[in-house]
Structure 1
Amino acid sequence: MSSTEWTSIKMGKFTLRFKPYTLEMRHVFTVASFSRTTTPVVLTELEYEGFVGYGEASMPPYLGESQESVTAFLRKVDLAAFNSPFQTEEILHYVDTIDAKNTAAKAAVDIALHDLLGKLMQQPFYKIWGLNPDLIPPTSFTIGIDTEEVIRQKVAEAGQFKILKVKLGLATDKMIIDTIRSVTDVPLCADVNQGWKNKEEALAMSHWLAERGVTFLEQPMPKEQIDDNAWLTERSPIPTIADEGCQRYADVAALKGVYTGINIKLMKCTGMREAKKMAELARALEMKVMLGCMTETSCAISAAAQLAPLVDWADLDGALLIGNDIFQGMEVVNGLCRLPDRPGIGVIKN
């Protein structure tokens, strides 16, 4: 599929444009279940009365979406029945009902709509939501599963970060942690990507990791092992966070007690509107909140960062893992997220 051709669809007062684009990873990216060197995305633009909002769908393998499925979904979107982008709830409810899944495709519309709204109001979205960007926690930087030599190289490159996220879930787990600890003592968080299958072994690892400065466990066991994850959460010396086990708003309430908290990602939950609702519900349930990302350009990363003041942990390094970002937006300075004071989600094209 070409990465240079835009499809443009006029629908009443709106025009939706989209095109596929392939992100190139700076390093081979390996987690417990796969490795990859690229990530397919689809870029979107939503125009209304001369204002243009930018959006993005990112599709890592496990989401089950592709550039073909996203563009097929976007061709079904018809906003002709809506007179104004300020009919946000109705528009996004309609988009959500077009098909059952396609959450990344829906997020591409949601992000573009929020960017458009912010530009119409001439305000950044974090200000529209009344949030303080000084409250954004330091973002982690992800260290994928790799050899000792490459892990040391990645840690050296991540010198500005105040917390590192480490991918685990294979037989090399202890080697990876020991290698990182040989070169840095910064706090770590561990993302197991459902790689552990046995609850007793998972509990033993949680104690071993806690002794080595790991602050929480992300998706330690398969999401289907609900009782095992709850058993681990009750006994683990560090918090457990649902990632693959928490997709959308409807999932959140049932996860209280199964995990300590949830990881919200725009590509899983259809975008900014639902992500904010998920964060507020988790808070009401006294659960921890993490804000994550896929491999994305600064477009989707900057969209997620608008709600980062609401969360306990931020993992917004997706644009730093690629070599061909086409946007400028949120920047990471000394491990801290810096939101631009620009309207909408704050991105401009390079």
Structure 2
Amino acid sequence: MTTNRRKFLGNTGMLLGAACVLPLLDGCDNINKRRKSGGIGGGLKLSFEPYELQLKHVFTIASYSRLTTPVMLTKIEWDGYVGYGEASMPPYLGESHETANRFLKSLNLKQFSDPFRLNEILAYVDSIAPGNCAAKASVDIALHDLIGKLLEKPWFKILGYNQENTPLTTFTIGIDTPEVVTEKVKEASPYKILKVKIGRGNDEQMINTIRKVTDVPLCVDVNQGWKDKYEALDKIHWLKEQGIVFVEQPMDKYNLDDMAWLTQHSPLPTIADEGVQRLVDVPKLSGAYSGINIKLMKCTGMREAHKMINLARSLDMKVMIGCMTETSCGVSAASQLSPVVDWADLDGNLLISNDPFLGVTVENGKIILPDSPGIGIKEL
């Protein structure tokens, strides 16, 4: 890590010592006392810098391949404390270093002198310009991290979740030659469920290759690769015989009529990924899919992801929480919500070779949340 990188990440400072309550109740007693005495003042300070993630292997899905992912690393400083965030921007999101830089520069967080006004601050961020969901998520994550550090609590505790209820995480096997797929599966032996990318015409080859190596449960991500609902249903029946758990985004995200038909006849759950982005999308997907895959980079961060989980549950839909290729910053933030979901695909940090943070870990395939304030990360 370069000197500039270390300087940017910095230290999070000393933590406040008092026991705290939910941040949306405006913080804890010692913070309020310091406000009254004049010990706290000034607005939030946002800073950011571009970073390029290096993948360990070529990452191939139904529509493209890549070896890198651009991210924007953010931090919000207030009263000597620092919260860290991240915007990960794979190609299909339509964001880049340039767009994230432009959006983040347009924000004036100095007008907010109280980080506990989470809803007000994030509503302002969302209102500045449409889209830019990953850039918005980087602010949301940094603000959550900051608040958790001020409260001296990890977010899973602030939300009242039991860290023992974290699920297994899938480990992703991208589309490749049988030789490379075999090697990837062997490397993934510690994981108890694998997520297999298919949809490029070699679906059976991918699954058969993996089944020669392991009999662990699999889920598949088609990334909109199937075009005909009848052929898709035939494939799903075959996949069920191979021990597949669910099918993610089998068809075009705009084709809700065919998706509803497929879900109605499918022997496996169908999960929307590209087909769902934000809270407003969830109700229209009820009946078209069995569940949704929530990603912080799509939905603008932890605040909206939490709302999406609750809304999906009210509609009797399954919930998966996923990620892009991200550092441990983004993955650890998403992991704070994992104790209340059905499935998790939180391996993005495990697919890169230059992670600048240490956070959530995986033991025997299970997500292990660090009992650390905020989103639970520290710099390497």
Question: Same fold judged by TM-score > 0.5?
Answer: yes
In the aligned structure 2, how far is the partner of 1:132 from the partner of 1:7? 33
Are residues 97 and 13 of structure 1, via their aligned partners in 2, closer, same or farther at CA, if it must alter by over 3 Å?
Answer: same
Task: For residue 83 of structure 1, report the CA deviation from its aligned partner.
Answer: 2.0
* AA matched with 2:122: L
1:37 and 2:67 aligned: yes
- 76-85 or 179-188: which moved more? 76-85
In the aligned structure 2, how far is the partner of 1:321 from the partner of 1:179? 21
* AA matched with 2:234: A
Report the secondary structure of 2:180's partner residue. helix
Name the structure 1 match of 2:242: 212
Report the secondary structure of 1:325's partner residue. coil
Report the secondary structure of 1:80's partner residue. helix
Name the structure 2 match of 1:266: 296
TM-score (norm 2): 0.89
In the aligned structure 2, how far is the partner of 1:15 from the partner of 1:172? 50
Aligned ranges for residues 142-153 of structure 1 at < 5 Å? 142-153=172-183
Name the structure 2 match of 1:182: 212
* AA matched with 2:337: L
In the aligned structure 2, how far is the partner of 1:231 from the partner of 1:101? 30
* AA matched with 2:311: L
Name the structure 1 match of 2:16: none
Match of 1:303 among 295, 318, 333: 333
1:58 and 2:88 aligned: yes
Name the structure 2 match of 1:233: 263
Match of 2:185 among 132, 151, 155: 155
1:294 and 2:324 aligned: yes
Q: In 1, are the aligned partners of 2:58 and 2:67 still within 8 Å (CA)?
A: yes
CA offset digits 1:7-48 (Å, max 9, x no partner): 99xx95211110000000000000000000000000001000
Aligned ranges for residues 13-24 of structure 1 at < 5 Å? 13-24=43-54
Task: For residue 4 of structure 1, report the CA deviation from its aligned partner.
Answer: 5.4
In the aligned structure 2, how far is the partner of 1:170 from the partner of 1:14? 47
Report the secondary structure of 2:260's partner residue. helix
RMSD: 1.6
In the aligned structure 1, how far is the partner of 2:315 from the partner of 2:197? 28
Which has the larger Rg? 2
Task: For residue 3 of structure 1, report the CA deviation from its aligned partner.
Answer: 12
Report the secondary structure of 2:51's partner residue. strand
Report the secondary structure of 1:253's partner residue. helix
Task: For residue 81 of structure 1, report the CA deviation from its aligned partner.
Answer: 2.5
Q: In 2, are the aligned partners of 1:298 and 1:347 still within 8 Å (CA)?
A: yes
Name the structure 2 match of 1:172: 202
Q: In 2, are the aligned partners of 1:229 and 1:259 still within 8 Å (CA)?
A: yes
Name the structure 1 match of 2:76: 46
In the aligned structure 2, how far is the partner of 1:256 from the partner of 1:3? 50
Aligned ranges for residues 13-162 of structure 1 at < 5 Å? 13-162=43-192
1:253 and 2:283 aligned: yes
* AA matched with 1:135: N
In the aligned structure 1, how far is the partner of 2:365 from the partner of 2:76? 32
Task: For residue 80 of structure 1, report the CA deviation from its aligned partner.
Answer: 2.6
CA offset digits 1:90-111 (Å, max 9, x no partner): 0000000011100000000000
In the aligned structure 1, how far is the partner of 2:4 from the partner of 2:257? 48
TM-score (norm 1): 0.97
Structure 1: gaps spanning 5 or more residues: none
* AA matched with 1:56: E
Task: For residue 310 of structure 1, report the CA deviation from its aligned partner.
Answer: 1.2
Identity across matched positions, percent: 62
In the aligned structure 1, how far is the partner of 2:256 from the partner of 2:286? 11
In the aligned structure 1, how far is the partner of 2:206 from the partner of 2:110? 53
In the aligned structure 1, how far is the partner of 2:8 from the partner of 2:160? 35
Report how many residues are paired.
347
